[in-house]
Amino acid sequence: MSSPHLHLHFAADGVVRLSLRRPEARNALTPEMVAGIPRLLEELRALPPEECRLVVLRGEGKVFCAGADLKAMRTSGRASETENREDARRFATLFRSVAAFPAPVVAAVQGAALGGGFGLAVCADHVIAEDTARFGTPEARLGLVPAVISPYVVRRLGPGRAGPFLLGGAVARGLPALAAGIAHELTPVGGLEDVLGQTVERFLGSAPRAVRQAKALMLREAPLPPPDIEELTIRAIAEARASEEGQAGTAAFFAKVPPPWAPSGSG
């Protein structure tokens, strides 16, 4: 139930750890990881509630997740329209699989959760973050669109708080991340495991089937994006990748120069 860059660890108390294992690349999401996480979560869905009471989402190394692998993203922009959309659809499936998982999902964030990493965080039910961890969506700064994560960011933060992230590339850490509702608990650097242990123990104090029923109610009360909205976001990111801005922005990123629309003197 694991792959080279993903690993599942089962504990006797019903806590399952799903770890991103690409620390040398700041756990940037490869196409294989994007497709693999939903498959693993689907396998976990088949377990009795007592055997999967809680999923802990972690990233190995110094960074939780730096988002999508930009080399793969740039390649997708040069692919056919069909291939580009199918790749975007896999991202939409990824975020839905986390947000819709029937048991609670706890994300423990160190370093940064950017782009797709931010998406994973806002799809989790509970986020513990080191007080220096950064949360943000830099896509628009690259000529891309934070499309498939946008319904989940808006669902979590509300339109008013989501705007600075989705439109202006804002980054939050520490108390601002807590106040925005991105993180639920903060810990000093090095204290993540201790706080995570306390949080897990608190969740395990609730009955597994009752918790699943409560989460099912929450998903009805605050629904996930309907198919037409999801399809809209898939088209938006696919078109942005292939656009002149998207190609120029990612090229500037790899060249380590400001994109053509940035104010002079920036960088």
First vs last Cα of the chain: how many Å apart? 43
**Angstrom distance (rounded) from CA 59 to CA 109:** 7
DSSP state, residue 68: B
What is the helix (H) or strand (E) element at residue 258, kind and residue range?
none
Examine the residue annotation and report whether 50 is marked as an active-site residue of this protein: no
Percentages of the chain per state (helix, strand, coil), in multiples of 5: 50, 15, 35
Q: Where are the beta strands (DSSP E) in the chain?
A: 6-10, 15-20, 54-59, 105-109, 112-114, 126-130, 134-136, 171-172, 185-187
Task: Tell me the sheet residues that pair with 15.
Answer: 54
- In Å, how far are 56, 84, 85, 152 from 126, measured between CA atoms? 10, 32, 30, 14
**Angstrom distance (rounded) from CA 84 to CA 73:** 9
Task: Tell me the sheet residues that pair with 71.
Answer: none
Structure tokens given for 123: 């799809």
**Angstrom distance (rounded) from CA 216 to CA 51:** 18
Closest to 179 measured CA to CA, from 151, 194, 158, 196: 158
**Angstrom distance (rounded) from CA 120 to CA 107:** 8
- Other Cβ atoms within 10 Å of 205 Cβ, number: 7
Instruction: Exactly one of 60, 139, 201, 245 is catalytic; name it.
Output: 139
- Residues marked active site are found at 139
